[in-house]
């Protein structure tokens, strides 16, 4: 999916959910879908314009903006955590960072779509800037699983107000098969 959508603009990330039973990507099946994050909203709009209803593996795909209900959860108090040990999982991040305040969603560890292995970084979405500030202050220079973590804000306060952007300041589109 990365290679296909890269033709429309700079791709930040792709995510294709896996079938819970087989563990394989559900892409190509009737219920297949995925997500593509673009660097800008203009890139996402262009992808929708040129990629919607093209055929992939003989079936047309539908490309839309990600649903708005998820945007309402994003207040912009997001942090990027880098240099993560491959053994760190979502539960460890949640248990560690929830001490600083309410986390709105399960921490998102970015993973290789083929292997499922961690890419070494994650995003944590706090309910308030006070919580994200407390986490940054307390965890600056700290180690998780014998590795010093790095961090940054993934969306500034100014960008957060009314932007509706993805946590990294990107624009997210959904990709799925059109019709039966």
pLDDT in tens, 109-148: 999 989 989 999 999 988 788 888 899 889 888 999 999 9
Query: Tokens in use for 127?
Result: 């309910």
Q: Residue 159's pLDDT is what?
A: 46
Helix (H) or strand (E) holding 90: helix 90-97
Same domain, 83 and 113: yes
Q: Does residue 153 surpass a pLDDT of 50? A: yes
Q: Are 108 and 70 in contact (CB under 8 A)?
A: no
Cβ–Cβ under 8 Å, residues 77 and 125: yes
Residues 56 and 93 placed together within one structural domain of the fold: no
What's the token pair of residue 175?
A: 């990709």
Residue 172 pLDDT class (50, 70, 90 cuts): low
| 81 token code pair | 């955590």
User: Which of 35, 62, 75, 53 has the alpha carbon at shortest distance from 162?
Assistant: 75
The confidence score (pLDDT) of residue 88 equals 93
Cβ atoms of 128 and 101 closer than 8 Å: yes
* Assigned domain for 160 exists: no
pLDDT at 28: 46
R_g (Cα) of the chain, nearest Å: 17
- The answer to whether residue 129 is domain-embedded is yes
pTM beyond cutoff 0.85 = no
Report yes or no on 108 lying in a domain: yes
CATH classification at residue 61: 3.30.70.330
Per-residue pLDDT reduced to its tens digit, 30-51: 346 777 888 888 888 898 888 8
Residues 54, 96: one domain?
no
Domain that holds residue 48: 1-69+169-177
Note whether 174 and 168 are within 8 A (CB).
no
Residue 167 · residue 88 · CB < 8 Å? no
Residues 82 and 139 in one domain: yes
Do residues 49 and 85 both lie within one domain?
A: no
Confidence (pLDDT) at 54: 83
Same structural domain for residues 95 and 129?
yes
- Band of the pLDDT at 93, cuts 50, 70, 90? very high
Asked if the model's pLDDT at residue 156 lies above 60, the reply is: no
124/141 same-domain check: yes
The pLDDT value given to residue 24:
57
């Amino acid at each position: 999916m990365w290679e296909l959508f890269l033709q429309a603009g700079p791709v930040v990330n792709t995510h294709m959910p896996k079938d819970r039973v087989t563990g394989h990507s559900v892409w190509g099946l009737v219920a297949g879908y995925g997500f593509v994050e673009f660097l800008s909203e203009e890139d996402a709009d262009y992808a929708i314009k040129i990629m919607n209803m093209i055929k992939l593996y003989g079936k047309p795909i539908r490309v839309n903006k990600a649903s708005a209900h998820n945007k309402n959860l994003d207040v912009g108090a997001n942090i990027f955590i880098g240099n993560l040990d491959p053994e760190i999982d979502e539960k460890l991040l949640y248990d560690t960072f929830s001490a600083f305040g309410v986390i709105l969603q399960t921490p998102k560890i970015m993973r290789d779509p083929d292997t499922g292995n961690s890419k070494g970084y994650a995003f944590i979405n706090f309910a308030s800037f006070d919580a994200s500030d407390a986490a940054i202050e307390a965890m600056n220079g700290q180690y998780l699983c014998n590795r010093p973590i790095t961090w940054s804000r993934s969306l500034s306060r100014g960008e957060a107000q009314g932007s509706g952007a993805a946590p990294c300041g990107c624009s997210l589109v959904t990709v799925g098969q059109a019709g039966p």
